[in-house]
Amino acid sequence: MEYPHLFEPIIIGNTMFKNRIFAAPTGHPDATIEGNFAEDVAPYYEQKAKGGAAAVTLGEAIVDSKYGKRHMFQLSLDCRHSVHSLAKVADAIRRHGAVASIELQHSGMNATPGLDTPGVCEGSKIIYGPSPCIHNGNEIQEMPEEIIYEVIEKFAAAAKRVQELGFGMVTVHAGHAWLLNEFMSPIINRRTDQWGGSVENRARLTVEVCDAIHKSCGRGFPVEVRFSATEAIPGGYTIEDGVAFAKQLVGHADIIHCSVGCGIGLEEGYRTFPNTHPSMFKEDGVNVKYAAEVKKHITNTPIATVGALDDPAMMEEILASGQADIVEIARGLICDPELPNKAREGRSEDIIKCMRCMTCFSTLKNRGSFWCALNPLTNRERAFARLPEKAAPKKVLVVGGGVAGMQAALTAAAEGHKVILCEKTGRLGGHIRCEENVPFKKHLAEYIAQQERRIASAAIDVRLNTEVTPEYARSVKADAIVAALGARAFKPNIPGIDGGNVCCADDAYINPDIVGKSAVILGGGLVGMELAIYLNSLGKKAEVVEMAPAFNPGLNFLHGDCVTTKLREEGIPTHFSTKAEKIDEHGVLCSTPDGERYFAADTVIYAVGQKALTAETIALHDCATYFYPVGDCVQPRTISDANMEARTAALDIGR
């Protein structure tokens, strides 16, 4: 076996886990306020079990509806209404040989006051934390000892309930600024009783929660504790303190799961988010070092690591070198739930590696579903599984070899259609290919290369350097056309825009040598901001000017938070409410709320959006019986939407 350590079973408590790959907790808000999951939720978790993970964990299940709930769609484990939905999810996971687990959480200071749970209780107007303070504009009261003991019993009762519903393990959330982590934090916990002060006292609540669960569920029932091995904030506890906390958990927790981050009391509360959920600007496996440090000091309790993991070779080395005993994956299994099976079967090159773009988490918060940029099947398992029988084979012309065109061609070929894929340039990949040499976009480049390999091995007639006109399309005599022509960079109408020192963002990405030592980027969307970060990494001084009053990352606001954090860390200037009026050979003159300002720069780069190739697309509409425009040629899209539309269109052909 290529990865013997990764696929070695492990016994924890009275349970055998078939390998060392656990699906880390991901909470799903696609539920009613009474606690009933929508139909798409069970298949989402089930796919991870089918994909080969040894354990699959539901995230953010609240143990205390009165004092501990953050938002209305969190599952309340003290709510009778949630029973049937949870049992169905546990069954969907168990029947594929994985252990169903669930994360037990209390929001503490992050709870929302007055959030009612129908059929259970009215939400309290009081918010409790370890010590009095003001947080998120709310007055936090010190949690009385009698409430602390109630919380402990609520954790135990929640664990017993899910055990009876078929869950084989629970994960106690003691990290990321939730209640148990708040008690550990020296910034937040200023108590002088048995629940504050020393490391032993600050860990006491988590320890007693573990003991209460074991008392209720049996000593053989595995209890995993997810804690922040370091708060990763100024004044917060360090990894040395994290080791001390982990030592307190020995003999009480059955797995010590090492994450990072707190965030309480910091600007926006997001500064540690790119660390807790590593952004694309972080290296793969960035947080493994914290688990490795804990592992040095603890040998009799399994240590789990998490964060930016999806490479089987890296995970094998983590286990083989003794840095951890278990690897936990969240976004990597959202992107490719088949990762474990592919690794075990020797197909690691087929794994779709997460590019950590945050699309999944942002769409979860915005739209209630984990939708992946690179894998259109994720959280659409039920929709795609319910398609009718395959249509009779058709001749399909796919116009455009970008992200959408490649996905459409692959899906249509898999459906048995005869596919011709035409791309007007000499390479597949589309305009996104301009970023292939950007270090923090390496997994996107790997994905494009992977799609190319799949197309090369499929029954697809690829025609490069072929521009499809209506005449050409008619000559092919296709039954269906999937138009994926894409978009081109929009060129703003600014005096001087055609100067020799001006270029578009795509050209700057492709050949950064054309950019001088300093650059002003016109456009403060994701493209412009990411380009500034890239140029800065090459030693060029870049700054961004944007007409709007604030950075707008679109729906992917969590990636926007990561970009903002990186800009701040790198000291890259950004100027909002600033409009470019005139460009000359030395820079650009802008109008600002304070009057005119001149930005001197060697190069001016415009990154003000894309213009859909709608006219070229419309020209093809009557060249075949079936016509499916997808992706940027309809309107500039995200990679996620382009992939979803392309796959769906290819499945619709002839049905």
Contacts of the segment 271-276: beta carbons below 8 A, 24+ positions apart: 271/233, 271/565, 272/231, 272/232, 272/233, 273/558, 273/561, 273/562, 273/565, 274/561, 274/562, 274/565, 274/566, 275/232, 276/175, 276/176, 276/228, 276/232, 276/307
Q: Are the beta carbons of 105 and 182 closer than 8 angstroms?
A: no
pLDDT digits (tens, 9 = 90+) for 370-412: 999 999 999 999 988 867 677 789 999 999 999 999 999 999 9
Q: 0.85 exceeded by the pTM?
A: yes
From residue 344, alpha-carbon distances to 21, 122, 212, 314, 339 in Å are 11, 49, 38, 14, 9
- The 8-class DSSP code of residue 221 comes to S
- Which two structure tokens, joined as six digits, stand for 484? 């994926």
Average pLDDT of the segment spanning 140-147? 97
Q: Are the beta carbons of 549 and 634 closer than 8 angstroms?
A: no
Average pLDDT of the segment spanning 246-252? 98
User: Using N-to-C axis directions, what is the helix angle for 639-652 and 359-367, rounded to 10°?
Assistant: 80
Distance CA 563, CA 526 (A): 8
Q: Are the beta carbons of 650 and 415 closer than 8 angstroms?
A: yes
- Greatest CA separation found in the chain? 83
The predicted pLDDT at position 263 comes to: 66
- Which two structure tokens, joined as six digits, stand for 350? 């087929």
The predicted pLDDT at position 83 comes to: 84
Cα 453 to chain centroid distance, Å, stands at 25
* Predicted confidence band of residue 655 (pLDDT cuts 50, 70, 90): confident
* Averaged pLDDT of the chain: 94
Distance CA 470, CA 61 (A): 55
Residue written as token pair 């950590």: 356
DSSP element (H, E) containing 135: strand 133-135
Residues with Cβ within 8 Å of 10's Cβ and at least 6 positions away in sequence, in order, are: 16, 17, 19, 20, 54, 302, 325, 326
pLDDT digits (tens, 9 = 90+) for 460-479: 999 999 999 999 999 999 99
Average pLDDT of the segment spanning 320-325? 98
Q: Are the beta carbons of 518 and 542 closer than 8 angstroms?
A: yes
Average pLDDT of the segment spanning 511-523? 97
- Give the angle subtended at the CA of 73 by the CAs of 72 and 79, to the nearest 5°: 85
Average pLDDT of the segment spanning 157-182? 96
Residue 228 bridge partners (DSSP): 259
User: Of 621, 218, 217, 630, whose CA–CA distance to 406 is shortest?
Assistant: 630
The predicted pLDDT at position 269 comes to: 44
- Give the angle subtended at the CA of 374 by the CAs of 373 and 380, to the nearest 5°: 75
For the chain, how many residues are written?
655
Q: Where are the beta strands (DSSP E) in 175-276?
A: 223-228, 255-259
Distance CA 597, CA 579 (A): 10
pLDDT digits (tens, 9 = 90+) for 202-213: 999 999 999 999
The predicted pLDDT at position 266 comes to: 43
Query: What Rg, from alpha-carbon coordinates, does the chain have?
Result: 26
Task: Give residue 67's identity as a one-letter amino acid code.
Answer: Y
Domains of the chain: 10-382 (3.20.20.70), 390-489+611-652 (3.40.50.720), 502-608 (3.50.50.60)
The predicted pLDDT at position 216 comes to: 98
pLDDT digits (tens, 9 = 90+) for 5-48: 999 999 999 999 999 999 999 999 888 887 789 999 999 999 99
Higher-confidence residue of 561 and 540: namely: 540
Residues with Cβ within 8 Å of 493's Cβ and at least 6 positions away in sequence, in order, are: none
pLDDT of 632 over the 50 cut: yes
Q: Are the beta carbons of 423 and 463 closer than 8 angstroms?
A: yes
pLDDT digits (tens, 9 = 90+) for 264-280: 644 444 467 888 899 99
Distance CA 182, CA 215 (A): 24
- Which two structure tokens, joined as six digits, stand for 9? 């079973």
Distance CA 431, CA 302 (A): 46
Distance CA 110, CA 545 (A): 35
pLDDT of 532 over the 90 cut: yes
Residues with Cβ within 8 Å of 86's Cβ and at least 6 positions away in sequence, in order, are: 37, 58, 75, 102, 162, 165, 167
The predicted pLDDT at position 271 comes to: 62
Q: Are the beta carbons of 617 and 468 closer than 8 angstroms?
A: no
Q: Where are the beta strands (DSSP E) in 538-646?
A: 541-545, 574-575, 579-584, 587-592, 595-600, 603-606, 610-612, 626-629
pLDDT of 252 over the 80 cut: yes
pLDDT digits (tens, 9 = 90+) for 420-466: 999 999 999 998 999 999 999 999 999 999 999 999 999 999 999 99
Distance CA 561, CA 98 (A): 34
Separation of first and last alpha carbons in the chain: 43
By CB neighbour count within 10 A (0-12 exposed, 13-18 middle, 19+ buried), where does 510 fall?
middle
Backbone angles phi, psi at 418, to 5 degrees: -85, 115
Q: Are the beta carbons of 248 and 199 closer than 8 angstroms?
A: yes
Residue written as token pair 């390479």: 427
Average pLDDT of the segment spanning 276-287? 94
- Which two structure tokens, joined as six digits, stand for 35? 């606690």
- Which two structure tokens, joined as six digits, stand for 110? 């992050």
Q: Are the beta carbons of 605 and 502 closer than 8 angstroms?
A: yes
pLDDT digits (tens, 9 = 90+) for 64-101: 999 999 988 888 898 877 888 899 999 999 999 999 99
Average pLDDT of the segment spanning 481-510? 96
User: With pLDDT > 90 as the criterion, what percentage of the chain qualifies?
Assistant: 86
User: Which of 32-36, 228-232, 324-328, 349-353 bottoms out in mean pLDDT, i.e. has the lowest?
Assistant: 32-36
* Predicted confidence band of residue 125 (pLDDT cuts 50, 70, 90): very high
User: Of 237, 137, 132, 244, whose CA–CA distance to 191 is shortest?
Assistant: 132
- CB count within 10 Å of CB 235 equals 9
User: Using N-to-C axis directions, what is the helix angle for 288-297 and 239-249, rounded to 10°?
Assistant: 50
Residues with Cβ within 8 Å of 636's Cβ and at least 6 positions away in sequence, in order, are: 487, 609, 610, 611, 612
- Tell me the three state secondary structure of residue 249: helix
User: Of 639, 637, 633, whose CA–CA distance to 485 is shortest?
Assistant: 633
Distance CA 70, CA 106 (A): 9
Helix, strand, coil percentages, rounded to 5, for the chain: 35, 20, 45
